[in-house]
Chain A
Amino acid sequence: MNNKLVFWIVTAVLGVCFCYILTSTVILPVFTKSVLPKVVVHTVEEKDKNTKSSKNADDSAEASTTSSSKESVDKLIELKKKEFLAQSRLALATEDSNYLVLDLSSKLAIIELKGVVLHEAKIIQLTLSNSIKHHNSEVLTNWASEPFSVKNIEATIPKIVFFEKIAPKDTLEANKMAQEPKITKQGDVLVIMDFHRNLRLIISQSELPDPEGLKAITELRESYSKQEVSRSLDAITHLNREPIKPQIEIVVSKSDATILYKSLPLNPRMILKF
């Protein structure tokens, strides 16, 4: 009898816990349309209003009852996508810093400056989270309609390595100092960039890391996993439903990963093309 009671109590408690966690971490965020971050820039409508000015009023007056075909709406969304992309590129091209253009359709990570392509890295493997894959084009277009600014960036390699050299006292000492160039060993690369609007970009190398590199990569990944767990716990205890974190993981060659990280400024900006 006692055993039965214990069983039902434990089952009930764990069942309630399970339902609570399921509701707070999965069902509620999903059903309350915590879809993509609410900080989304202007909607297509607002952007149109900004550029349309007085013409808008005439358009609505002219509106006929014939509703538009899906095909023409899709074409319009494609055009809007191109327009926002051009707007973003212009906004960043007027600045004096390099920026990253992540072209998901062509599988390219491009570094640009003043509209000039400086470096093109071929994406060997591209992994998109479901929230990006399964959203409709219009929602994504709005979400990615302005450049993304980085909030936090962490990497397994330093941005720049400086060698320190004490000046020689005389020519004899100067000659003794190595004439051959010092070459730094290229470290294994994993870069995690958290952007505004909750986007996370992970850049990793296609080559297998050496033991030392593997340790650094594992440590960085683990530290991010821990952050995620604490975020989840926070969501459960405080019921603060955070918007979903769309994630893009790209695998490029080691040299490209190094270039992408080292060439971008400390607070890089990125345009997403899809």
Chain B
Amino acid sequence: MTAAAASANVASAARPRRRPRVRNVGPRAFLVLLILFLFAPLFVVVLFSFNATASLSFPIPGFSLRWYDKVLDDREVVAALGRSAIAAFITGIAGGAIGILAALGIQGLPPRWKGAVQTVVLIPIATPALLLGIGIAIYFNRLGIKPPRLPMAIAGHVLLALPFVLLTMTAALERFRFSLLEAARDLGASRARAFWTITFPLVLPAVLGAALLAAAVSIDEFIIAFFNTGSDGTLPLVIYSRIRRVIDPGLNALATILLVATTLLAVLAARTTTARR
């Protein structure tokens, strides 16, 4: 095909499509603006984390990785990264395990109770994190449990993660064909065998997704960690304590690291739980 023919082709293909495109200009513009509103601020932080100088204005004179070097040499940051990773890991495992059991339990309830239980599990999302944070702090204090305090924050993170885990898990379980399970039992499979050959592989991706979601909630969580971990803080706490100081370009790198960690977990979680229907 010659270039002229190709461009004529493109033109004729474009013409009939113009009308519907014009029709939805409003909605399209709205979507673009909203996505910009949601993601542009994050993009700005990422962009300036690669800035060669310390200034925070456009145009950017050049790019470098110096702020990452600086931040990763920082002991406080590395320690906080470790604590965040531990908290996320434990929240993922605990939240995923408790959540999958509870989701299976909800699945087996009579319809009348199902709705009520599904509403009750949302309560932690509808409780200000501030209340949970200070509640958990004073609770452990009254129980006479003193530092290490990271476990207190983790206890709160699991609580916050459970509603999200249950929401995604129950939605996923609704889509499964549990008739397969009955068929296997009817054909003489033992309860254990039916579980391992049918339920387990069916549920596994959703469980993984839910665990990743719980980990994402933990890594991103600030308020509960603030009231419980104190000076042995997680990554968001380090960022919070440094924000008020004079402009520190290293913060952009730090924020980007946190952002990449949460986004990665969130993307993986959203993909594993929404991918198949």
Q: Do these two chains really belong together in a complex?
A: no
Task: Give chain A's interface residues, CB within 8 Å of chain B.
Answer: none
Task: Give chain B's interface residues, CB within 8 Å of chain A.
Answer: none
